[in-house]
Amino acid sequence: NWKKCLCAGVIGALLLGVMSGCGGSPTPAATPAPDDVAYQTAGISRDTVLFTVDGTEVTADAYLFWLLNSITDAQYNGYLSDEESWAGEIGGMPAGDYLKSQALETSKLYTVVGNQAAARGITLSEEELATNQAELDELEENISYYYGGLTMQEWLDRQCISLDAFNALNSVAYLAQDLQKQLEEAGELAATDAELDELVEQLGYYKAKHILLAFPADENGSAANLTDEQKAAVKEEADALLAQIRGAEDPYGEFDRIMNERSEDGRDESGNLYSPDGYLAYAGQMVPQFENGARALSPGEFSEPIETTYGYHIILRLEISEEEQQQLRDSVAPYHTNMAMTELNQKWVDEAVVETTPAYESLDPKSFYDKLTALNEEKEAQRAAQASPDPQESVEPEPEASPPPQESANP
């Protein structure tokens, strides 16, 4: 998730990242710049400090961007469907307080992880800087293409963020990746076999093989219109085969023999089953009827014929070997590492000390959003007017008289 940077281009699709907390904030200007969208919408200059996180200042330039994201996310989820809902509650809190707190939590996460990266001496490499710039260049091209020539700065103004702050946010994926890599190499995110085995269990891995007796298909290749008699015929054969397996001197050998001869689970050009040794599957991989039937068995048990949309299955639950278990540990290890990093991020956030300023306390999300919306609509109208000048003010040139036809020199 960290790798997904802000170049996604849609504010509602942004994922959490980190912002470097070093360097502090610039000294507030006495008079806000004419292009300071924060001042035009929230009444505070973009370099106004709204709060500190473990002593690191967070300015309006970064925070208002996340406040807008919080508002649009609430709208998308139906919490701000009309004007009245702004005066109501979201998540048991007044709507305005909820929106501010959501944006504050995002800013807090950016800051604490950025502080951790800075404390470990992590900075962007030349390669990361180049890749980051290439992504920003691509974003600028996409903005111009999809928004009818809109410039990067005009697009950023719509998000209420400066180019410098956006660049800082856009580089966070690399800082987070490098931080996680360093922690991995230091062994701080390592997992024991027992922890990995527990994760394998949580993900619902199991092993089974089966004999599939497929339903007959009609002339269109569909089995959706089978009659009860046709289904009953397949079920009758499945029952007979299961009885034959259970009555054999070597049931498992008989199962394999019938499976290789009769199963319709897909075969290669030579007629061999694709998965004669069974499936090592995880929860949700197979159709529910098959998965539920397989997981209800103990290793070595046969199921009764189980109906799915494909036909009837006779399932044999298999034991997962130690070699396969190690393969599963290896496969879930990156997932465990990401989970461990997420838990560490949350620990840093929970332990962070936040001190807000009067500017933050007096910030009104609805007023900010209404003014930003009005400002964006005004600018869009101006762009439309510039793209379509008043036809009364346009003077069409008089067409030139056509030259007289020339006499041909040929007869």
Does residue 402 surpass a pLDDT of 50? no
Question: Which has the closest alpha carbon to 51: 132, 111, 131?
Answer: 111
pLDDT-derived band at 395, boundaries 50, 70, 90: very low
pLDDT tens sequence across 197-248:
999 999 999 999 999 999 988 766 677 778 889 999 999 999 999 999 999 9
pLDDT tens sequence across 325-344:
999 999 999 999 999 999 99
pLDDT tens sequence across 134-154:
999 999 999 999 988 899 999
pLDDT of residue 392: 54
**Max CA-CA distance within the chain?**
109
Residue 195's H or E segment, with its range, is helix 193-202
User: What is the average per-residue pLDDT within 291-319?
Assistant: 96
Q: How many angstroms separate the CA atoms of 7 and 10, rounded? A: 8
pLDDT of residue 58: 94
User: What is the average per-residue pLDDT within 1-30?
Assistant: 36
Radius of gyration of the chain (CA): 32
pLDDT of residue 167: 86
Does residue 25 surpass a pLDDT of 70? no
User: What is the average per-residue pLDDT within 86-115?
Assistant: 94
Does residue 378 surpass a pLDDT of 90? yes
User: What is the average per-residue pLDDT within 116-124?
Assistant: 93
pLDDT of residue 221: 66
User: What is the average per-residue pLDDT within 363-377?
Assistant: 96
pLDDT of residue 33: 83
Does residue 180 surpass a pLDDT of 60? yes
- Between strands 306-307 and 206-214, the pairing is unpaired
pLDDT-derived band at 389, boundaries 50, 70, 90: low
pLDDT of residue 390: 58
User: What is the average per-residue pLDDT within 302-316?
Assistant: 96
User: What is the average per-residue pLDDT within 352-381?
Assistant: 95
User: What is the average per-residue pLDDT within 268-284?
Assistant: 92
Q: Which one is predicted more confidently, 25 or 272?
A: 272
Question: Which has the closest alpha carbon to 59: 377, 307, 359, 345?
Answer: 359
Q: Which residues of 356-373 are buried (b: 16+ CB within 10 A; e: fewer)?
A: ebebbeebebeebbebbe
User: What is the average per-residue pLDDT within 162-170?
Assistant: 87
Arithmetic mean of pLDDT over the chain: 86
Q: What percent of the chain has pLDDT over 70?
A: 86
